Amino acid sequence: MRHTLSILMENESGALSRVAGLFSARGYNIESLNVAATDDPTLSRLTLVTHGNDQIIEQIMKQLNKLIDVVKVLDLGDHPHVERELLLVKIEASDAESCDSITRVSDIFRGRVVDIYHRTYTIEVTGGQDKLNAFLNAMQQHAVLEVARSGAVGIIRGSSSS
Amino acid sequence: MKLSGAEIFVECLKAEKVDTIFGYPGGAVLFLYDELYKAEDAISHILVRHEQGAIHAAEGYAKSTHKPGVAIVTSGPGATNAVTGIADAYMDSVPLVVFTGQVNRDLIGNDAFQEVDIVGITRPCVKHNFLVTRVEDLAETIKKAFYLATTGRPGPVLVDIPKDLTKDKTEFSYPETVSMRTYNPTVKGHPRQIKNAVDLILAARQPIVYSGGGVILSGASSELKTFAQELGFPVTNTLMGLGAYPATDKQFVGMLGMHGTYEANMAMHKADLILAIGARFDDRVTGDVEKFCPHAKVVHIDIDPASISKNVSVDVPIVGEVKNVLPELLKEIQRRGEKPDQQALADWWKQIAEWQAEDCLKYTQDGDEIKAQYVVEKFWEISEGDAFVTSDVGQHQMWAAQYYKFDKPNRWINSGGLGTMGFGLPAAVGVQLAHPDATVGCITGDGSIQMCIQELATCQQYQLPLKIINLNNGYLGMVRQWQEFFYQKRYAMSYMDALPDFVKLAEAYGHVGMRIEKPGDVEGALKEALAMKDRLVFMDFITKKEGNVFPMIPAGAGQNEMILV
């Protein structure tokens, strides 16, 4: 099962390495990982997508909580939440028709063209993992030159803060 | 008044009431050593002969007392040499504070002389570690280090201190308390879980108490004794838990696990209730987890939530300090005024007695060869079961655990989790320094003793009258035993060819050496050695060459599948 964990931790050098090291040392998988400071500059939020059965996820949560730099760990899947990922993709159009196709598909996915260089389009799309995968699939007919994805970030719905 | 980083370091140690620090000097810690030199009346520094020895000695000190062990080493190789000891302390939850020197701040990351990223290297094997970057943070960091090392599930904490910081000056004040927003161990058991556990205890017909090192760390031996005796339940201890419950008590069924007793393992296998107390279901205990305790409900008391349901799924988890939880359980039992089914319990004991009748630790000392078991048993008798015993890792360790009956906690000092050969001698250094008048025995083997043999010089410098019992069979015995059983006797590299003359070696270091080759001489040698109160005696017992440790659960087997002889 796919789980998105939201980890609030001390904004200190080494904290990220402790989290990442824990996953590699204990053989847990990391599908994506995203980290940045929060509105409180002493804290960072790390959003991490992993896979595992209930027992593994429970153990991951416990091991994370044991790290001295970790303030709070939340499995976003346990709550109604919003999850987004940012995709930047560079696509080369072969002719005028494919230029049209690229911008049309991009519109359908509410993507935005953020750069054009000759016939190379750089497009920004946000959404859930499925949507971004579907977008990339739809673009496969064109020459996809490069993909950069942020990994998921997420937040609980409603007024409560995590 | 402003103090230098080095002065602050020493003031912090004094504030933490550190009386002994184990270490080895070097370039990056020169300012620190200069202050230790001036403070030698308050803090005695023990110079080891290798940094690994410093950490093991600090572990011996900590495991035999209820105080943290403290060590200091220099940057680079000094720090990397300490890593084995730090990993050892991490696996066995030993409260340690380890100070490492670091190169000057402006050199960090430049591959400077004797630079290593020790914070990075040790991250997976410390409870926490710090690189101090400002002298203003030093006192608070040291306070945090001691706090983290000694509270919750104890463990090693490393503080890396750049050299230039130790001569910087700042105002010094030692924080009285420390609070960390991210760290707040649960010490009291949850009342609902206490009730759930009591439900299971009262319903149990074939219960067993499975207690481990956590009982000793929590200082809860007397609580465990009261608890078990009130209920009349059988008790088994893990390797780390030996001494937590008195081994000579009639409710004690011996150690469990790979080389535990038949009765302990069978009782675990047939039990309908396992009360796991400060134990962590290590693979050397469980064998194949699929076959582990198939009929039992499991109650698990542990300070570390991550230990619960890690290897074996638990029915009632109680996160908390054993010392608090056991009396709470008893209180709840007494409040209900009920008892488990006494007839069922009597039948259970009858069943256990049948297993005990197998007499799985039986051996006979016959023939011309000395049996290792005999040496350990005689040592137990002659030391009146009251010695502190350290060990290394291998067959001798198992024999020590099986035949030295520990009635008191903190007496059995061994490397359980990491299984570090070379642990025994330096650990004994730490134990003897903490208990100058006690008999401290180091039960070791011809392989292990050579891994930190250099500490014999430390023993000479500080006049430590250790009693080293070298069970010398000319093999890496445990490796050889596995090769005999599982690799068709292909003894790859397990023969210790070219052994030194240990008697001469001991004498070269200024100690007394003895070689004992006949069974009839064992008792006399031990008595003579123990009578030499002020000398280290190295007893080299030439034992049976291909002796095996029994009983044994082969790898991958269940607890009910023991090989008895």
B121 within some domain? yes
Q: Tens digits of per-residue pLDDT, B211-232?
A: 999 999 999 999 999 999 999 9
B414 plus B527 within the same structural domain: yes
B421 plus B304 within the same structural domain: no
B361 within some domain? no
* In chain A, % of residues over pLDDT 70: 99
B305 plus B380 within the same structural domain: no
**CB environment A138-150: b (16+ within 10 A), e (fewer):** bbeebeeeeeebb
Provide the annotated active-site residues of B.
Answer: 51, 113-114, 163, 478
A58 lies within 8 A of chain B by CB: yes
| Amino acid B204: pLDDT | 98
Residue that finishes a domain, picked among B171, B206, B238? B171
B150 plus B209 within the same structural domain: no
Contact (CB<8Å) A58/B128: no
The closest CB to that of A71, out of B123, B182, B310, belongs to B182
Tell me how far apart the alpha carbons of residues B384 and B321 are, in angstroms, rounded to a whole number.
32
Query: Which residues sit opposite B45 in a β-bridge?
Result: B21
CATH of the domain at B425: 3.40.50.970
The answer as to CATH 3.30.70.1150 being correct for domain A82-154 is: yes
B72 plus B217 within the same structural domain: no
Gap from A90 CA to chain B (nearest CA, Å): 36
Query: Which residues sit opposite B69 in a β-bridge?
Result: B96
Which of A3, A6, A149, A10 lies closest to A74 in space, CA to CA?
A: A6
pLDDT band at B4 (very low <50, low <70, confident <90, very high): very high
Cα-Cα-Cα-Cα torsion B14, B17, B22, B24, nearest 10 degrees, comes to -10
Gap from A69 CA to chain B (nearest CA, Å): 6
A25 lies within 8 A of chain B by CB: yes
Residue with tokens 């990397």: B80
Look at residue B34 and tell me whether its pLDDT is greater than 90: yes
List the domain range (segments joined by +) for residue B314.
Answer: 191-356
Give yes or no for a contact between B447 and B421, defined as CB atoms under 8 angstroms apart: yes
Look at residue B149 and tell me whether its pLDDT is greater than 90: yes
Look at residue A160 and tell me whether its pLDDT is greater than 80: no
Is A82-154 in the same CATH topology as A2-78?
Answer: yes
Mean pLDDT, chain B, rounded, equals 97
Tell me how far apart the alpha carbons of residues B312 and A106 are, in angstroms, rounded to a whole number.
50
Alpha-carbon radius of gyration of chain A: 18
Alpha helices in B92-152, H assignment, sequence order: 118-122, 138-150
pLDDT band at A161 (very low <50, low <70, confident <90, very high): confident
Tell me how far apart the alpha carbons of residues A110 and A133 are, in angstroms, rounded to a whole number.
14
B482 plus B529 within the same structural domain: yes
Residue that finishes a domain, picked among B329, B356, B383? B356
Give yes or no for a contact between B449 and B425, defined as CB atoms under 8 angstroms apart: yes
Pull the structure tokens for residue B490.
């292909």
Q: Spell out the domain ranges in chain A.
A: 2-78, 82-154
Tell me how far apart the alpha carbons of residues B149 and B161 are, in angstroms, rounded to a whole number.
18
Contact (CB<8Å) A17/B120: yes
The answer as to CATH 3.30.70.260 being correct for domain A2-78 is: yes
Tell me how far apart the alpha carbons of residues B218 and B323 are, in angstroms, rounded to a whole number.
6
Which of B500, B427, B519 lies closest to B466 in space, CA to CA?
A: B427
Tell me how far apart the alpha carbons of residues B406 and B398 are, in angstroms, rounded to a whole number.
13
The closest CB to that of A59, out of B131, B183, B306, belongs to B306
B482 within some domain? yes
Contact (CB<8Å) A62/B182: no
Q: Tens digits of per-residue pLDDT, B456-493?
A: 999 999 999 999 999 999 999 999 999 999 999 999 99
Which of B361, B343, B199, B355 lies closest to B269 in space, CA to CA?
A: B355
| Amino acid B163: pLDDT | 98
Tell me which chain A residues have a C-beta less than 8 angstroms from the C-beta of B303. Answer: none
* In chain B, % of residues over pLDDT 90: 95
| Amino acid B522: pLDDT | 98
β-bridge pairing A70-75 and A32-37 = unpaired
B534 plus B388 within the same structural domain: yes
What would the DSSP string read from start to end of A51-99? Answer: E--HHHHHHHHHHHHHSTTEEEEEEGGGS-EEEEEEEEEEEE-SSHHHH
B346 plus B425 within the same structural domain: no
The closest CB to that of A68, out of B128, B304, B308, belongs to B128
Task: Give the chain A residue whose CA is nearest to the CA of B147.
Answer: A68
B464 within some domain? yes
Contact (CB<8Å) B306/A65: yes
**Count of domains in chain B?**
3
* Sheet of strand B128-131, all strands in order from the earlier edge strand to the far edge: B44-47, B20-23, B69-73, B96-102, B156-162, B128-131
Tell me which chain A residues have a C-beta less than 8 angstroms from the C-beta of B308. Answer: 62
pLDDT band at B287 (very low <50, low <70, confident <90, very high): confident
Mean pLDDT across the stretch B166-178?
A: 96
B138 plus B205 within the same structural domain: no
Query: Which residues sit opposite A54 in a β-bridge?
Result: none
Q: Tens digits of per-residue pLDDT, B329-373?
A: 999 999 999 999 999 999 999 999 999 999 999 999 999 999 999
Contact (CB<8Å) B124/A68: no
Alpha helices in B44-137, H assignment, sequence order: 51-64, 77-91, 118-122
Tell me which chain A residues have a C-beta less than 8 angstroms from the C-beta of B304. Answer: 66
Task: Give the chain A residue whose CA is nearest to the CA of B182.
Answer: A71
Tell me which chain A residues have a C-beta less than 8 angstroms from the C-beta of B123. Answer: 14, 17-18, 21
User: For an interface test with A, which of B183, B300, B311 has the most A Cβ atoms less than 10 Å from its Cβ?
Assistant: B183
B343 plus B464 within the same structural domain: no
Give yes or no for a contact between B10 and B35, defined as CB atoms under 8 angstroms apart: yes
Give yes or no for a contact between B525 and B539, defined as CB atoms under 8 angstroms apart: yes
B185 within some domain? no
Contact (CB<8Å) B304/A66: yes
- Rounded to two decimals, the ipTM of the complex is 0.91
B305 lies within 8 A of chain A by CB: yes
Tell me which chain A residues have a C-beta less than 8 angstroms from the C-beta of B182. Answer: 9-10, 68-71
Give yes or no for a contact between B379 and B469, defined as CB atoms under 8 angstroms apart: yes
| Amino acid A74: pLDDT | 96
The closest CB to that of B182, out of A17, A25, A68, belongs to A68
Tell me how far apart the alpha carbons of residues B232 and A87 are, in angstroms, rounded to a whole number.
65
B245 within some domain? yes
A12 lies within 8 A of chain B by CB: no
B551 within some domain? no
* In chain B, % of residues over pLDDT 70: 100
Look at residue B238 and tell me whether its pLDDT is greater than 70: yes
Look at residue B565 and tell me whether its pLDDT is greater than 80: no
Mean pLDDT across the stretch B408-430?
A: 98
* CA distances for B346 relative to B207, B218, B226, B558, angstroms: 11, 31, 19, 26
B362 within some domain? no
B131 plus B210 within the same structural domain: no
Q: Tens digits of per-residue pLDDT, A43-80?
A: 999 999 999 999 999 999 999 999 999 999 999 999 99
Task: Give the chain A residue whose CA is nearest to the CA of B308.
Answer: A59
Query: Which residues sit opposite B70 in a β-bridge?
Result: B97
Look at residue A85 and tell me whether its pLDDT is greater than 80: yes
Residue that finishes a domain, picked among B356, B389, B424? B356
Gap from A50 CA to chain B (nearest CA, Å): 18
Look at residue B281 and tell me whether its pLDDT is greater than 90: yes
Cα-Cα-Cα-Cα torsion A18, A23, A24, A25, nearest 10 degrees, comes to 80
| Amino acid A162: pLDDT | 60
A146 lies within 8 A of chain B by CB: no
B42 plus B86 within the same structural domain: yes
pLDDT band at B65 (very low <50, low <70, confident <90, very high): very high
* One-letter identity of residue B550: F
Contact (CB<8Å) A17/B123: yes
